Chain A
C-alpha cells in the first residue's frame, strides 16, 4: 500500500517537475519544440503571453490541490494506524472554494477579453490577401494587384514513401510561397471552394476556418523578415495532411519586385495560350500537371479508388473530347470533381487532357490545344 501511494506521488511529482522545467526552458530558448511559438506578430506574442500566464495559474492550483492530496495520502493511511475522522460538511469551506476560483477566473478572463477584441480588429489594413482553400492546395490573391496563384505541396512522393531521405522542410514546403511585406497591417480574407479548411500560420497567431460560401478575416503585422510555415488545421479529406502553407516575409521593395515578377509571368502564360503545341510537348507537361493536380484522387495509374474516385481508363477520358474538356474545366457539381478552369492555365488543361486521353493504354490519339480550352471557356 505504502509503496503504491509513494510510487504515485513520485510519478506525479516527476511529471510536474518535467513539465515546469521544460516550459521554463522553452520560454528562453525558442529552438526546443515543445511549447507554443512566440511568433512574429503582436497577436501571436499576445497569445503566447496569455498561454504562459494560464499555464502558471494551472501549475499553482495544481501544486496546492495535489499537494494537499499527496499529504493526506501519505499521512492518512490506514497502515499508519490512524483513525478516520467523520466530518463531511462545511458550508463555509464550500463557499470559499466556490468564490476563490471565480476570482481567479475573472483575473484570467479580463486580459483574455482584451486580447480577443484586439485580435478581431481587422480595420485599416494595408494589404488584403484573399485565401481560398481547395482540396488540397491553397489559392492566394493579392487584392487590388491582379496577382493570383495556387500553392501546392512540393515534397516529392519518394520522400513521403520512404524511398528518399526527408529534407528538413518535409511536408512544410510549397512550389509557390505567398510573399508579404514586413511592417504592414495585412488582412487575410479566408474562404474555401469545396469543404472546410483552416489557414494556420503559428508564427502569426492566425488560424481561421476557410468555409465554402462564406468569408472570415484575420490580420497580422509581421515584424521580422523570414520564412514562416503552417498547415491546414481542419480535416478536409484524404490529403488534409499534405496542404502546407509557406509565407515569405520580405521588405516592401522586395515585395513590390515579387508582385511585378508574378504579373510578368501571368502575361507570358497568357501569350502561350495562342501557341500551338506538339503532342509530345503536351503529353510531357500533362504528366506533370496530372501528378500535381489529379493523381491525389485518380491515382498515378489513372485507376482511381473504387467507389470514391472514378477510373480514367473508362468514361470521359475515352469519350468525346469536348465532354472531357468540359468536365475538367467545369467540374461535376455535387461531387469531389472540382472545376479546374479557374485553377489551371489553358496550357495546363490542354496538356492534362491530352495526357489523360493517351496515358495508361488509353491511346485515343487526339489532343487538345490551349486555344480549344480558351474557346470552351468562352462558350464557343
Chain B
C-alpha cells in the first residue's frame, strides 16, 4: 500500500496526491503574489510624488488592472485552494480529495491562464488597461486588442475554480471520518464548504459577462452598447453579481483559518462554534443581495438605493458576531503570541477596521463622496491584505511544520510579522485621508495637496514588499532544514491533522481515523 511519490518532473505533472497539488497551488500563489506585488510597486513608485516620472498613463492603467487581476485570481484564490487541498482531507480524516484527477487538471490549467494573461503586457496596444472591474464600454469598444486573451484567461481561471469547488464539496460531503457530523467539522472545512458553493454560483456569472463582452467585441452584439439597444450598466449588474460574492470567497476561508489558530494559542475552545457556522452562512446568503452597493452613483432608482443600503448594513451583524466570538475565545484564555497568533490577532483588528470603513461606505449618501476615491482603496485593502493575505500567512506558519516536519524560525517569523504589519498600515492607513481629501482612485498623477499621504503610502508599500522577501526566505529555510517539529507541533491543538506524524506522510488516513469531538 505505502508507496512514495514518483521521481522527477512527472511527480508534479501527473500527480493526483492532494498534498502535492496543495503544494503546487501554494507555490503558484506565492509566485503570483510577488508578480502582483511588483505591479503594485510600479504603481506606488509612480505615485511617490506628483508629476509623471516613471510610466506613462496608459501603462499605469495596465499596472492597476494587472495588479488587481493577478492578486485576486492568481494569489488569493489559489492560495486558499492550496490550503484546502492540503488541510481538508487531513482535517476530516480522508485519504485524499474525492476527485484526484480533476484536482490535477484544475491546478495545471492555471499556469497557462496566467502565462496568457501576463503575455498581454508584451502585445501591441499593451495589456488590459480598464481596471480589474473591466467596465464596458471601456473594456469592449475602447479596449486594446489583448482583451480577447484576457477573456480567454478569465474563462480558464473560472473553469479551474469551479472544478476546485466541486472537488471540495464532493470531498467534504462524502469523505468525512465516521462520527464527524457536519456540526463537528473544523471551521476551516465549514467555511470552505460554503465558499465552494459561492464559487459554483458565481463563477459561471463571470464567465457569462466576459462572454457577452466577447460577443460585443467580435460578433456585433450590443449587450453593453446603448447605440445598439444595450446598456453599459447591465455590465456592472452582472459583474457585481459575481463580484460581491467573490469578495466573500476571498474572506470566508480566512475566517476558518483564524478560527483554528486563535483557540490553539488561547488554549481555550472556540467560542460560539454554532453561531460561527450560522454567521458564515448568513454572510454568504447576504452576499447575493448587496451587489449594487458598488454602483450607488450609476443612477439606481431611490427604492433600489435604499434596499441595497440596508441590506449591506445588515452584513455588519453576522460579521460582528464573528469578531465578538474571536474576542470571547481570547477572553480568559492563556495566550501566547507565536507568529501564527500574531497574524491572526492583526487579522481580527485590521479586518474590523476594514469592516468599519465598509459600514461607512454602505451609507449610500456618504458613498456619493467616498465612491471611487482612495477611501475605497483603503477599505478593500484593509479587508484583503490583513484579511486574506494575513490569514493565509498565518495558516502557512501554523501548518508548515506539519507539512515539512521542520519548525520555522520564530524570530524571523516575528520580524516578518512586524515589518508586514507596520508596512501595511503605513501603506494603507494614509489612503483613508487622501481619499477623504478628494483623491480619485486609478489616477497616475495628482495635485500637490495629496502629495504627503502618497509619499507615506509609497514608503510603506516598499517596506511591506521587503517583508514578504523575508517570508519567502523563512519558508525555504524551514523546508530545507531547521529544528524537527513534534507531531502535535503546538500545545494541544485541536484537529485530526495533528494526529499524523510530522512531516505528514505522502498518504494519510488510508484507514478512517477515530474521531473524538471536543465540543
Contact = CB atoms under 8 A, between A and B. Distances in A.
Given A12-B349, A51-B360, A88-B269, A334 B440 contact: no
A105 B360 CA distance: 11
B290 to A, nearest CB: 14
24 contacts: A5-B337, A12-B349, A22-B433, A47-B368, A54-B366, A72-B330, A72-B335, A82-B332, A84-B334, A93-B272, A105-B313, A109-B310, A112-B365, A119-B368, A160-B52, A160-B445, A162-B52, A170-B447, A195-B138, A209-B298, A211-B299, A212-B137, A214-B226, A306-B125
Interface string A191-228: 00011101010100111110111101000000000000
Q: How large is the interface on A (under 10, 10 to 19, 20 to 34, 35 or more residues)?
A: 35 or more
Interface string A24-35: 000000000111
A123 interface: no
Contact of B433 (A34, A209, A211, A231): A34
Contact of B345 (A73, A76, A207): A73
A319 interface: no
Interface residues of B, number: 108
A101 B443 contact: no
Interface stretch (B127-135, B207-215, B240-248, B249-257): B127-135
B336 A1 contact: yes
B204 interface: no
Interface in A151-180: 159-162, 166, 168-172
A73 B335 CA distance: 7
A105 B314 contact: yes
B335 A77 contact: yes
A62 to B, nearest CB: 7
B452 to A, nearest CB: 9
**Closest 8 pairs (CB-CB, A-B):** A213-B226, A307-B124, A307-B125, A241-B443, A34-B433, A216-B299, A58-B356, A85-B332
A120 B297 CA distance: 11
B232 A212 contact: yes
A97 to B, nearest CB: 5
Contacts of A11: 421-422, 425
Interface in B433-448: 433-434, 436-438, 440-448
A287 to B, nearest CB: 22
A235 B62 CA distance: 12
B1 interface: no
Interface stretch (B81-89, B140-148, B157-165, B191-199): B140-148
A72 B519 CA distance: 23
A160 B275 CA distance: 55
B281 to A, nearest CB: 14
A244 to B, nearest CB: 9
B331 A72 contact: yes
Contacts of B226: 211-214
A199 B345 CA distance: 41
B320 A162 contact: no
A8 B345 contact: yes
B316 A101 contact: yes
Interface stretch (A63-71, A140-148, A361-369): A63-71
A34 B226 CA distance: 39
B324 to A, nearest CB: 5
B209 to A, nearest CB: 16
B234 to A, nearest CB: 11
B50 A166 contact: yes
Given A61-B356, A72-B330, A305-B58, A113 B306 contact: yes
Given A62-B352, A170-B448, A235-B131, A242 B57 contact: yes
A37 B373 CA distance: 13
B115 interface: no
A117 B302 contact: yes
B464 to A, nearest CB: 15
A242 B445 contact: yes
A43 B367 CA distance: 13
B331 A68 contact: yes
Contact of B297 (A46, A66, A97, A198): A198
B231 interface: yes
A34 B453 contact: yes
B294 to A, nearest CB: 12
Contacts of B500: none
A13 B321 CA distance: 23
A93 B442 contact: no
Nearest to A121: B302
A233 interface: yes
A309 B443 CA distance: 21
A308 B144 contact: yes
A352 interface: no
A305 B144 CA distance: 11
A68 B309 contact: no
B372 A233 contact: yes
A73 B345 CA distance: 10
B368 A205 contact: yes
Contacts of B108: none
B365 to A, nearest CB: 4
A22 B130 CA distance: 35
Interface in A208-267: 208-209, 211-214, 216, 230-242
A94 B321 contact: yes
A4 B414 contact: yes
A272 interface: no
A55 interface: yes
A300 interface: no
Given A79-B336, A211-B232, A306-B124, A87 B330 contact: no
Contacts of A69: 327, 330, 345, 348-349
Contacts of B238: none
A207 B321 CA distance: 34
Contacts of A46: 365
Contacts of B433: 22, 33-35
Given A37-B438, A213-B226, 19 more contacts: A4-B342, A34-B437, A47-B369, A50-B363, A50-B365, A84-B268, A94-B272, A105-B317, A113-B309, A120-B305, A160-B52, A166-B50, A195-B138, A211-B298, A235-B441, A237-B129, A241-B446, A307-B123, A307-B125
A207 B369 contact: yes
Contact of B446 (A86, A87, A171): A171
A135 B310 CA distance: 35
Interface in B40-69: 50-53, 57-58, 61
B121 interface: no
A230 B442 CA distance: 15
A66 B57 contact: no
A83 B334 contact: yes
B335 A76 contact: yes
B450 A213 contact: no
Q: A58, A116, A120, A231: which has the most chain B beta carbons within 10 Å?
A: A116
Nearest to B313: A105
A66 B163 CA distance: 40
B26 interface: no
A122 B467 CA distance: 51
B504 interface: no
Interface string B252-269: 000000000000001111
A309 to B, nearest CB: 9
A307 B368 contact: no
Nearest to B270: A88
A238 B129 contact: yes
A55 B137 contact: no
A112 B366 contact: yes
A281 interface: no
Interface in B101-122: none
A89 interface: yes
B273 interface: yes
